[in-house]
Structure 1
Amino acid sequence: MEEIKERKKRKRESRVHKIAGVSFIIVLVLFLTINILIPDQEFSEKENRSLTQRPDISLGAVSSGKYMKQFESWQSDQFAFRQFWVVLKTKVSYLEGERKSNGVYKGKDHCLLEEIKEPDKESLEENLEAIHTFHAAHENIPVYMCLVPNAANVWEDKLPALAVVRNQDEQLAYVQKKLEGETNWVDMKKNLVKHKEQDIYYHTDHHWTTLGAFYGYQAFAQAAGLDTKKAEGMKPYAAAGGFNGTLSSMSGYETGYEEPMYFYYSDEMPEVVLQYVQQQTKTATWYDSSKLKEKDKYAMFLGGNYPLIDIRTTSESQEVLLVLKDSYANCFLPFLADGYREIVVVDPRYYYGNVNDIMSNYGITQVLFLYNMNTFVEDNNISGVLENE
């Protein structure tokens, strides 16, 4: 009798295993079919970044291992219902005690903090050498370096317990030493730390807030000898709608958390005209309110990132400033209007012209590099723009 019961039990277990195996194969084939049928997406609005496209196969790419890396990146970016799986994985990992997802820490007070990036040593050295060469070619023109520490550096107290992050202070000190005597180093961290109890970074996005940018402006203005009275009279106004930034989309954390955005304005500040040179369009405002209807609301500042913007002001100053920047500069620039007659803005990630031509054609009298540190240590575009002949 016991033998018969054991035999029936084994049959039931075997049937369950077969059903589970067949179900797994069906689900696997289904997802493979879906991934083949769904066309690749070029851009993720939620993450505000371009997605990897299907790589071209070649003997050289396969033998070097480059093809497999690109293939894995493509599969990761183009996997069906990717955002759903990111959120699901994040929630499961969070229940298991994990507080980091896709390079983003879930910190205190709803704060998401991007990890401190490891420098791309080759790109960093090329960029520093290019800045050295650029300064030598324009040695009579002041060059200011404003490298902004990231939230995980300034808001260390908001990191989750036992989180281990790279030392960004060492990175900043290294760059400062390499450029010593060639540029005017602006200590951006000092003023940010002084106001660290305020919302100087977004909670769900990797950018600093306009308030953080204002404290950064104060540090630069002191170094450049600017009169800050009019800029300090600018008042914050809340933009319509809540903001949930790219760190939330990347990590799957705080997807329901929305935070305010502010733009700053004063009737006392000079009027401006922004000319988007390659697009051949103009506007008389720093802010594009139409972007508030989109996922990337940070694009409200300047309307987003563009290769070359020529900004004319009604300031009495005769100084002309060239700004080489990443998107951290977008909410920073309005504070500069009173200090410069003209501000020429170049984003090396999108600009393919010759910066040396800009120096002469626009009569540049000062140069400002404004980057967040994570971007600066990885960017491989700065050297190309500065050395472009």
Structure 2
Amino acid sequence: MEERRKRRRNSRNKRAKSRKLWMARMFLILLFLICLLNIVWPSREFSEKENRMLEQKPELTLSGIESGRFMEQYESYQSDQIAGRDLWVQLKTRVDLLMGKRESNGVYKGKSKYLMEDIKTPNQEQMEHNLASMCSFQEAYPDIPMYMMLVPNAANVLSDKLPSFAVTRDQDKDFAEIQKALKGHLTWVDVSSAMKDHKSENIYYHTDHHWTSLGAKYGYEALAEALQLDTSKEVELKPYAVSDSFNGTLSATSGYETGYEEPMYVYLPKEEGTGPEVVVSYVEEQEKKATLYDTSKLKEKDKYAMFLGGNSGLIDIRTTADSTDRLLIVKDSYANSLVPFLTPYYREIFMVDPRYYYGDIHEIMENNKITSVLFLYNGNTFVEDNSISGVLENAETE
């Protein structure tokens, strides 16, 4: 009897060892296949799914090895170029959802299919530097009125759409601190109230961090009041759908709602020929167009780039408006969908994006008879920006 039990025990142990050996072999074979697949898998420069540039293989240098930079870059390269990356990202997102997680890469999966970027914590030192530079810039041109327009992000305005138990930073408090730091140098444009008054409407995209054209329209109305624009020049506009398949950057960043498609609208004159004609000059690219919209971008992943063709260092918009006023806008991409509402009021509008502009803003002010200046940013971009001060201080050091 004892001998029989011993034989059964030995048999079980052999089977267990055999299973472990088989699993180890399968793991090694799978690991070998993944490594082989990664070797032959072609590298990509851009991810359509994530709407971003991917890390490329770093150059091996002695300084890179000594500093540790090479290994950091190589790790990012391996992560970005792994075979089947899009599938792995999608799988991770689905597993996280099954586990109850409703946040990915700083993006919340909210109610009603809203994706919302978390409210950013200010880079305090850099932001204070930017604000001081803006005040100094205004002091250099005391006779030219300047305005500050900070657009709240969706997680602030649509806080009721956030997932349960999500806690975000108090962006209203940050805005109040920024307004206080400007010390009256720039006129504050209160667009937060306008956005919250219309929060039940479709003022932010569901899958993108930008405001919609309707949101930009309400922003324009708040701005027109602050600028004291003569709205008798206002052209009657009507929304027109230009796409029904927009899926924005927040979907790409988070992996949520990748199949969700939403419409995009632009506001055009209700009666053809009633609005001002425009010539849009992309100064650094040395290109000119007779429209504020690049419809070719509607065929690409980043359809929001339809507005002015995306971001550019310096854009000069000349109009046939009955006006001699000239506006300089220092901005991020939120301004791109708002500018069409301003063309009836200005002979010329200059748009400077400090992230891509390396010229002398002082020359723009002096050579083009600027009559007013507007700083237009969304809150998240502004509190992390590291470009504004450099562009504004360039005017002081040239």
1:250 and 1:308 map into 2 onto residues whose CA distance is 28
Higher mean Cα deviation, 346-355 or 203-212? 346-355
- Cα distance in 2 for partners of 1:125, 1:66 equals 30
Amino acid at match of 2:53: S
Change (3 A) 1:236 1:70: same
Aligned equivalent of 1:378, options 366, 377, 384: 384
State the distance in 2 between where 1:67 and 1:171 align: 38
Query: Does 2:105 align with 1:102?
Result: yes
Q: In terms of Rg, which structure is larger? A: 2
Kindly tell me: are residues 187 and 366 of structure 1, through their superposed partners in 2, closer, same or farther at Cα, counting changes over 3 Å?
same
1:96-116 alpha-carbon deviations (Å, 9 max, x no partner): 111111111111111111111
1:129-158 C-alpha deviation (Å, 9 max, x unpaired): 221221222222111111111101100000
TM-score between the two structures when normalised by the length of structure 2 = 0.91
- What SS does the corresponding residue of 1:369 show, helix, strand or coil? strand
In structure 2, relative to structure 1, the CA distance for the partners of 1:84 and 1:376 (3 Å cut) is same
CA distance in 2 between counterparts of 1:37 and 1:382 reads 43
Equivalent residue number for residue 204 of structure 2: 201
- State the Cα distance separating 1:284 from its structure 2 match: 1.2
Hey, what does 1:93 align to over in structure 2?
96
Say which of 177, 182, 195 aligns to 1:179: 182
What's the CA shift for 1:282? 1.3
- Which residue of structure 1 aligns with residue 372 of structure 2? 366
- In 2 relative to 1, CA 29–378 (structure 1 residues): closer, same or farther, beyond 3 Å? farther
How far has the Cα of 1:52 moved from its partner? 3.3
CA contact (8 A) 1:217 1:335 kept: yes
2:84 & 2:184 partners in 1: Cα distance? Answer: 52
Aligned to 1:297: 303
Query: How far does residue 5 in structure 1 lie from its aligned partner after superposition?
Result: 2.4
Show the counterpart of 1:6.
Answer: 9
Structure 2 CA distance for partners of 1:33 and 1:351, relative to 1, 3 Å = farther
* Range moving further from structure 2, 78-87 or 260-269: 78-87
> CA RMSD, aligned part only?
2.0
Which of residues 112, 115, 118 in structure 2 aligns to 1:115? 118
- Residue-by-residue CA offset, 1:346-387 (whole Å, 9 max, x unaligned): 111111111111111222111111111111111211112112
The corresponding residue for 1:236 is 239
Q: Is the contact between residue 330 and residue 353 of structure 2 (CA under 8 Å) also seen in structure 1?
A: yes
Aligned to 1:227: 230
Q: 1:145 aligns with which of 109, 123, 148?
A: 148
The CA deviation at 1:33 is 4.1
Change (3 A) 1:21 1:167: farther
> Is 1:127 equivalent to 2:130 in the alignment?
yes
Residue 271 of structure 1: how far off its partner (Å): 1.3
Gapped runs of 5+ residues in structure 2?
Answer: none
Mapping for residues 333-372 of structure 1, pairs under 5 Å: 333-372=339-378
Structure 1 SS opposite 2:386: coil
Q: How many Å apart are 1:230 and its aligned residue? A: 5.1
Distance (whole Å) between structure 1 residues aligned to residue 61 and residue 171 of structure 2: 39
For 1:39 and 1:362, how far apart are their aligned partners in 2? 49
The answer to whether residue 70 in structure 2 is matched with residue 42 in structure 1 is: no
Aligned residue for 2:330? 324
1:79 equivalent in alignment to 2:82: yes
Q: CA offset at residue 198 of structure 1?
A: 0.4
For 2:48 and 2:125, locate their aligned partners in 1 and report how far apart those are by CA, in whole Å: 31
Deviation for aligned residue 1:239: 0.6
Change (3 A) 1:171 1:20: farther
Contact 2:233 2:345 (8 Å CA) reproduced: no
**Secondary structure of the structure 1 residue equivalent to 2:194:** helix
Aligned residues: 389
Amino acid aligned to 1:305: N
Contact 1:230/1:269 (<8 A) preserved: no
- Residues 278-334 of structure 1: CA deviation (Å, up to 9, x unaligned): 222211111111111111111111111111111001111211111111111111100
Cα distance, 1:54–1:170 mapped onto 2, change above 3 Å:
farther
How far apart, CA to CA, are the structure 1 residues paired with 2:334 and 2:364?
A: 22
- Within 1, Cα distance between the matches of 2:131 and 2:325? 26
Per-residue CA distance 1:32-67 (angstroms, 9 max, x = gap): 444454454333333333333444566766676655
Q: Partner of 1:25 in structure 2? A: 28
Displacement after TM superposition at 1:25 (Å): 3.1
Work out whether residues 46 and 246 of structure 1, in 8 Å CA contact, stay in contact via their aligned partners in 2.
Answer: no
Q: Is the 8 A contact 1:46 1:296 kept in 2?
A: no
TM-score when normalising by structure 1? 0.93
Matching residue's letter, 2:378: N
Q: Does 1:214 align with 2:217?
A: yes
Out of 311, 314, 330, the position equivalent to 1:308 is 314
Once the 2 structures are TM-superposed, how far is the Cα of residue 26 of structure 1 from its aligned partner?
A: 3.3
Q: Secondary structure at the match of 1:203?
A: coil
Instruction: Answer yes or no: is 1:157 the counterpart of 2:160.
Output: yes
Q: Is the 8 Å Cα contact of residues 319 and 365 (structure 1) preserved in structure 2? A: yes
